[in-house]
Amino acid sequence: MLEMDKKSFKKAYVNKFLEMHGVELKEGNNQQKYEALGSLVRDYVTRIWLKTNKKYNKTGEKQVYYFSMEFLLGRLLGDALLNLGIRDICREALLDLNIKLEDLENLEQDQGLGNGGLGRLAACFLDSMASLDIPGNGCGIRYKYGFFEQKIIDGKQVEVSDAWLKEGNVWEKRKAEKAEIVRFGGEINVSEVDGNLKFTHVNFEPVLAVPYDTPIVGYENEIANTLRLWSAEAVSNEFDFSSFNRGDFLQAIKYKNSVESISQVLYPEDSFYEGKMLRLKQQYFFVSAGVQSIIRHFKKHGGNIELLDEKVAIHINDTHPTLAIPELMRILVDEENLEWNTAWRITTNTISYTNHTILAEALEKWSVDMFQKLLPRIYMIVQEINERYCKELWNKYPGNWDKISRMSIISDGKIKMAHLAVVGSHSVNGVAKLHTEILKKKEMSDFYYLYPNKFNNKTNGITHRRWLLKSNPELTKLLKDTIGDSFIRHPIDLKSFENHLYNEVVLEQLGKIKKFNKERLASTILKNDNIRVDPNSIFDVQVKRIHAYKRQILNCLRIMDLYNKLIDNPNYDIVPRTFIFGGKAAPGYYLAKNTIELINCVARKINNDSRVNDKIKVVFMQNYRVSLAEQIIPGTDVSEQISTTTKEASGTSNMKFMMNGAITVATLDGANIEIKDEVTDDNIVIFGLTADEVLSYYQNGGYKSVDIYNSDQRVKRIIDDLVNGKYHNDKNKFKSIYENLITYNDEFFVLKDFDSYLKAQDKVDTLYRDGNKWQKMCGVNIAHSGIFSSDRTIQEYATGIWGSQVIYKNL
């Protein structure tokens, strides 16, 4: 914890402001005040950062490098203050100066360099590694434009580019002296030197990878780890261009633009793979720069390259950074002159891989032609890896060509990245128990059979520092007052909160805190989305990427049904509910965009119908992102986790909601199952098909959605309402949704689960009426959320995969 008192903080801040802006504090605007605060806090962090790096260099501890195309950090100021242990002092010091800390914190642009769960998980992991004293570094891309900003105009999603760097970024430090060169295209000359083959890369296009480092502050432990994001630049004139002919001036401009496009923008898709060249360039760009800089650092500090795997662990977040495998092989074989087998042992021992999805359409398969042209040497290495591996397969399954070609890394003119990732790493993990079982038994069963010891589960987690301490200070205070503060370092200790749930005063407090957070959320909704909602109603929330498998459509259909019921029977007795949605659709994903429009049309109709709008309201909150999630989640009563069973690898918002005392309505999918096991059936509302039922339908058929349409009057009516002009003048507006559900037989079992979902919602209504019982359920959820802290997850990775020394000081 930083030694600091209010007085000295105030003084330092006033001075900092003057120094930075050349005017006195009282003359400055809020943006300037934010910048001065950010800069001051950054100075504090820098001291810790230097100290940490010195310590790591001295002790030579094993370093973990978490490679990810995405890091969804959100805002950093509040987190840094919290982890430094000075947020309260800072708040009070600023108040003395008539400044509200939260007003300044809210001016920070979200660092939105990720699509959703996978990127946010990477951010939670960085926080946990730093807080657990694990030497853990992030490695990724410094996209100039992050995930697009979403505006809802006329009920439709409109994408606006996210120029998050336009006001500068106080947290990053450009390290020009640590730049690396990444080579694209060209040819490989093969020659023989002293009886060994030598591979020389010529005529390539060089790209300068410049790192920008951001400190990741651990919780009150004097540690700041590093997130290194690479930016692509044209190489300067000093570069030896003998093997790279730039040609004329126009050529040079073209080169510059093409280079800069590499780190220009985050791809906003997270479920449909398209074999775009630029994306492959992005992948190799950051992976090559990252691996090169690791080796350079390692050697500079006297490391013996043959022992690399004892000192370095590289983790690849999904298949996107899989090229780390052939890139490390390239460096070890071509540059360090190691034998292939030695290099392979080191590489596989160094690298580990997490799978985050079983959706077939998200699997990365690069075309050989494009890959070979862009990365000629890497292609040769992948070929060599594949040949040796296929020989192994042949020895194990002689004559079984079917199996061998199915398992091959290269087949049908494609390179299968998941296969390369499994073959080239020592550990493959799924992100929740069910997901790992599906990987082992179905999706990757051939590989599991071949390498049973590589496969393991690491159920996801979330950092309770951001998602409880920072985003819900009121609940944190109640917890501290009732169970003490040991849960801050040992989140599992939240369990003892359960012993206090017989105490009516505690339950009442829980209710008050929820109400307070709902009021805050209601005012955000009014401000951002111009809809007035009642904090006394149930806040029923589904916020996440818009995707067919996540089934926002199921949620919307039950609202349409409820609307019908309320119109048919004005005395229909329900607890008033506010339905809140949020989430972005990939710009090219028609069905997802159509779903947003449907929700908005249903919202408009219902919110303007005075017959029902004291009972139900519907809101689509625009531009869902980390900082908005921090406001929504504490103000939620009901958390909708309703994906088609087997499709959601884990989910992580489910964990954030339970930690903030929401009741989950869930299918038995992903981590929902583990949440249910923790809180028991009495404290969660489960519905829908089981995994076995879903898998059996997919395998054997037997489901006909139209039968449900024909036999269930409620279903017939709402499905017809999609296309009869009730929600939009243009009757064809929601035809794609209609067709998905009826004509194309409802791939995600929306109608199949409909009845059971409605019953689940009726149960919620009943439970909510008994205030004490409801609060108790919320309390049980909070008490059992500790196991879903990413500290637990990271300890499992550290001891089970990375071989890091976990220092138990903090545990």
Residues that bind ligand 26V (CB under 6 A): 115-118, 121, 267, 269-270, 273, 318, 356-357, 362, 431, 460, 648-652, 670
User: Residue holding tokens 């929700």?
Assistant: 599
Q: Which is nearer to ligand 26V, 318 or 674 (CB)?
A: 318
Q: Are 469 and 488 in contact (CB under 8 A)?
A: yes
Q: How far is the CB of 666 from ligand 26V (least distance, A)?
A: 13
Q: Tokens for 323, please give them.
A: 């090229």
Q: How far is the CB of 39 from ligand 26V (least distance, A)?
A: 33
Q: How far is the CB of 802 from ligand 26V (least distance, A)?
A: 17
- Which of 598, 786, 784 shows the shortest CA–CA distance to 680? 784
Q: How far is the CB of 411 from ligand 26V (least distance, A)?
A: 20
Neighbours of 212 (CB within 10 A): 18
Q: Which is nearer to ligand 26V, 33 or 584 (CB)?
A: 584
Q: What are phi and psi of 515, to 5 degrees?
A: -60, -45
- Which of 176, 180, 327, 187 shows the shortest CA–CA distance to 244? 187
Q: How far is the CB of 540 from ligand 26V (least distance, A)?
A: 21
Q: How far is the CB of 629 from ligand 26V (least distance, A)?
A: 14
Q: How far is the CB of 757 from ligand 26V (least distance, A)?
A: 20
Q: Which is nearer to ligand 26V, 271 or 537 (CB)?
A: 271
Q: Tokens for 426, please give them.
A: 């020592």
What is the distance, to the nearest Å, from the Cα of residue 750 to the centroid of all Cα atoms in its chain? 25
Q: Tokens for 447, please give them.
A: 């590989």
Q: Which is nearer to ligand 26V, 434 or 475 (CB)?
A: 434
H/E run at residue 144: none
List CB contacts of 178: < 8 A, sequence separation 6 or more.
211, 293
Report the greatest alpha carbon distance in the chain. 91
Q: Can you tell me the distance from the alpha carbon of 549 to that of 204, in angstroms, rounded to the nearest whole number?
A: 43
* Planar angle of CA 779, 784, 788, nearest 5 degrees: 130
User: Residue holding tokens 């996978």?
Assistant: 118
Across 596-606, b (16+ Cβ under 10 Å) vs e yields bbbbbbbbebb
Q: Are 658 and 679 in contact (CB under 8 A)?
A: yes
Residue 610 to residues 617, 625, 729, 781: CA-CA distances in angstroms?
Answer: 11, 32, 20, 36
- 276 residue type, one letter: K
Q: Are 215 and 137 in contact (CB under 8 A)?
A: no
Q: How far is the CB of 118 from ligand 26V (least distance, A)?
A: 3
3-state secondary structure 401-435: HHHHHHHCCEECCEEEHHHHHHHCCCEEEECCHHH
Residue at shortest CB range from ligand 26V: 117
Q: What are phi and psi of 662, to 5 degrees?
A: -100, 155
Q: Can you tell me the distance from the alpha carbon of 4 to that of 48, in angstroms, rounded to the nearest whole number?
A: 14
Q: How far is the CB of 278 from ligand 26V (least distance, A)?
A: 12
Q: Can you tell me the distance from the alpha carbon of 263 to that of 684, in angstroms, rounded to the nearest whole number?
A: 43
Q: How far is the CB of 658 from ligand 26V (least distance, A)?
A: 14
Query: What 8-state DSSP symbol labels residue 107?
Result: T
What is the distance, to the nearest Å, from the Cα of residue 728 to the centroid of all Cα atoms in its chain? 34
Q: Which is nearer to ligand 26V, 668 or 722 (CB)?
A: 668
Q: Are 71 and 122 in contact (CB under 8 A)?
A: yes
Q: Are 179 and 208 in contact (CB under 8 A)?
A: yes
3-state secondary structure 196-242: EEEEEEECCEEEEEEEEEEEEECCCCCCEEEEEEEEEECCCCCCCHH
- Which of 27, 143, 124 shows the shortest CA–CA distance to 79? 124
Q: Can you tell me the distance from the alpha carbon of 193 to that of 417, in angstroms, rounded to the nearest whole number?
A: 33
Q: Which amino acids are annotated catalytic?
A: 356, 544-545, 550, 652, 656
Q: Can you tell me the distance from the alpha carbon of 421 to that of 274, in angstroms, rounded to the nearest whole number?
A: 19
- Which of 279, 647, 666, 173 shows the shortest CA–CA distance to 442? 647
Q: Are 457 and 430 in contact (CB under 8 A)?
A: yes
Query: What 8-state DSSP symbol labels residue 301?
Result: T
Q: Tokens for 260, please give them.
A: 């800069």
Q: Are 127 and 465 in contact (CB under 8 A)?
A: yes
Neighbours of 28 (CB within 10 A): 18
Q: Which is nearer to ligand 26V, 597 or 648 (CB)?
A: 648
Q: Which is nearer to ligand 26V, 87 or 625 (CB)?
A: 625
Q: Which is nearer to ligand 26V, 362 or 695 (CB)?
A: 362
Q: How far is the CB of 115 from ligand 26V (least distance, A)?
A: 5
Q: Which is nearer to ligand 26V, 6 or 442 (CB)?
A: 442
Q: Can you tell me the distance from the alpha carbon of 758 to that of 806, in angstroms, rounded to the nearest whole number?
A: 47
Q: Which is nearer to ligand 26V, 220 or 270 (CB)?
A: 270
